[in-house]
Chain A
Amino acid sequence: MSGWTFERPPALPLPQPSEESAPFWEALKERRLVVQRCAACGAISHPPRAKCGSCGAMEFVWQESEGRGEVHSYVITHQAVHPALRGYTPFATVEVALDEGVHITSNLIDTPPEQVAIGQRVQVEFLDVGEGVVLPVFRRRRGK
């Protein structure tokens, strides 16, 4: 496994923030992973939404996440079903269940695709991909 490094396919789309999600992407530039917290009932949401799914309130605060969680599921693209992945297969994408209770799609930057496993504890890292965009990615975490 030494020698394996994550290489992000440069043709993958970059996130185009919406009005609701802009603070999420802005916080990443400061190397902070934030999740949306309902100002009324405290329910956590991700991706950001306009109206709380639990109580219906429309006021939110941004709460910094611990950035810890576990791999909930994963896929490995073997055939470049999209041109952006040509030359970059096999390519793993993971769904991380954050300890705050929400799920986030990401990549593992220290784990070759064949070693990705459900239940793996992970910790957020920040990947500067240029053009003022920082993506939340993860690495394996020992213990809890």
Chain B
Amino acid sequence: MSFSNAVAVAGVGETDYSRDSGRTELALSLQAIGAALDDAGIAAAEVDGLMKWFVDTSSEAEVAVNLGIPDLAWFGEINQAGNVGAPLVAHAAAAIHAGLANTIVIYRGVNGRSGRRYGRGDVTGQGGRGAGAFTEPFGLLTPQHGLAMSARRRMFETGVTSRQFGQQAVIQRKHANRNPRATFHDRPLTLEDHQESRLIVDPFHLFDCCLESDGGGALVLTRPELARERRLDRPLALIRAAAQSGPGQSSPVRRTAARLFAMGGVERSDIDVVQIYDHFGPFVLFALEDYGFVEDAGHFVEDGGTMWDSGKLPVNTSGGHLSEVYLQGMNHLIEGVRQARGESTSQVPNAQLSFVDTGIGTGAVILERSEA
């Protein structure tokens, strides 16, 4: 089974990113969708599918009414936390491939800093219910607690160090410093800054943790013929492969990787540029190993292997969640598309295959450049 490049990401768009948007989440969503449709050269009335992040507040119905969509043939969500970006792309691409819809917009808009903050446990806490009965009474209260637990064990098993985590944070900040949209565009970061930054939940230092952000983003998926017609003189990003791994699976990265690379018919070494979901920076290193890109990510990063210009495998070239914006994978997808089209602010020369993970194995896509 393959998408055979039968679906294109025809347009991407985002709002400005901030700590306090001063707008509703619906307004952010609509602004991002407008930008993505403009980028694609597609009118709102041509959209017949909408998909959103489950955790977002702006329903498909509200968005359809506001966009003036006359015939909504496809909509839906994936009931998971924030890590659903690539799975949404997979669902939308499958729907288009199967003829259930022609043009699907995947969108989100969140006041993740001025509104409900993920890092505070008040969004994600379970009040001691469900699986939380076995963790929350002992002080594991937020997503980062569980992730810090597995990071600590990984450090013990592989010898990867906090300094190596810091190297990746520094590299991503360099990418953000080249990206005018990035929250930390104007603020450099040194390895010493990272190491001296306060511990939040040991082993995570402040600069291992993602931003909390207000903003929105959107993707327009459609058939390559339509996308081509509207983007005559510009390269397109086609969906070469998409895969996901369900909640609660062990080793989700390895499972997703096996399906993804088999579907794409490509090797790890064929990938030119990588985006990886960095809720916490150390997981970028873990995922690089588990996806099979490198054997020892700690030393790979230490040697600058993930730098956009000089690295062997550039990673998180917009700055990622650590330094661009925390849109839970949406910004990684947007950047992955831009790399495939040759439009990144840290463009990898001649990038043909652009890889995007949106949840440390919950889902990933391979995007392919198609010349104008």
Chain A residues proximal to chain B, CB less than 8 Å: 9, 12-18, 21, 25, 46-47, 72-79, 81-85, 90-93, 95, 104-107, 118, 135
| Known contacts A21-B133, A93-B149, A118-B156, A76 near B140 by CB under 8 Å | no
Contacts of A12 in B (CB 8 A): 136-139, 141
Contact A105 B140 (CB under 8 A): yes
**Is residue B188 contacting chain A, with contact meaning CB distance below 8 A?**
no
Other than A13-B126, A73-B156, A78-B199, give 7 A-B pairs with Cβ distance below 8 A: A13-B125, A15-B137, A47-B133, A73-B153, A74-B152, A91-B139, A93-B140
A135 touches B145 (CB 8 A): no
Interchain CB contact (< 8 A) of B141 among A82, A92, A118: A82
Max count, chain A CB within 10 A of own CB: residue among B131, B139, B152, B201: B139
Chain B residues contacting A14 (CB-CB under 8 Å) are: 128, 137
Contacts of B131 in A (CB 8 A): 47
B200 touches A75 (CB 8 A): no
Q: A85 to B152, Cβ gap below 8 A?
A: no
- A15's contact among B134, B142, B201, B203, by CB below 8 Å, is which? B134
A118–B156 Cα gap in the complex (Å)?
8
B130: which A residues are within 8 A, CB to CB? 18
B311 interface residue (CB < 8 Å to A): no
B163 at the interface (CB under 8 A from A): no
Contact surface of B with A, Cβ cutoff 8 Å: 119-121, 125-142, 144-145, 148-150, 152-153, 156, 198-203
Which of A14, A46, A72, A77 has the most B CB atoms < 10 Å from its CB?
A77
Whole-angstrom distance between the Cβ of A139 and the nearest chain B Cβ:
15
Most chain A C-beta atoms within 10 Å of own C-beta, residue among B131, B198, B202? B202
Q: List 15 A-B contacts (CB under 8 A).
A: A13-B136, A13-B137, A17-B133, A47-B131, A73-B153, A75-B140, A75-B152, A75-B201, A77-B201, A81-B141, A81-B201, A83-B120, A84-B141, A92-B139, A107-B139
Complex partner residue of A104 from B134, B139, B198, B202, CB under 8 angstroms: B134
Contacts of B125 in A (CB 8 A): 13, 82
Least CB distance, A59 to chain B, in whole angstroms = 22
> A13, B127: Cβ atoms under 8 Å?
yes
Which residues in A have their C-beta under 8 angstroms from that of B153? 72-73, 95, 118
In the docked arrangement, what's the CA distance between A92 and B199, Å?
13
Residues of A within 8 A of B148 (CB): 75
- Contact at B201–A13, with CB atoms within 8 Å? no
- Report B201 CB to chain A, min CB distance, Å: 5
B149 touches A73 (CB 8 A): yes
What is the minimal beta-carbon distance from A102 to any residue of chain B, in angstroms?
Answer: 11
Residue among A18, A75, A76, A118 with the most chain B CB within 10 A?
Answer: A75
Residues of B within 8 A of A135 (CB): 137-138
Assembly CA distance A105 to B141 (angstroms): 12
Q: Across the interface, do B199 and A76 meet the contact criterion of CB distance under 8 Å?
A: yes
The residues of B that contact A93 with a CB separation of less than 8 Å are 138-140, 145, 149
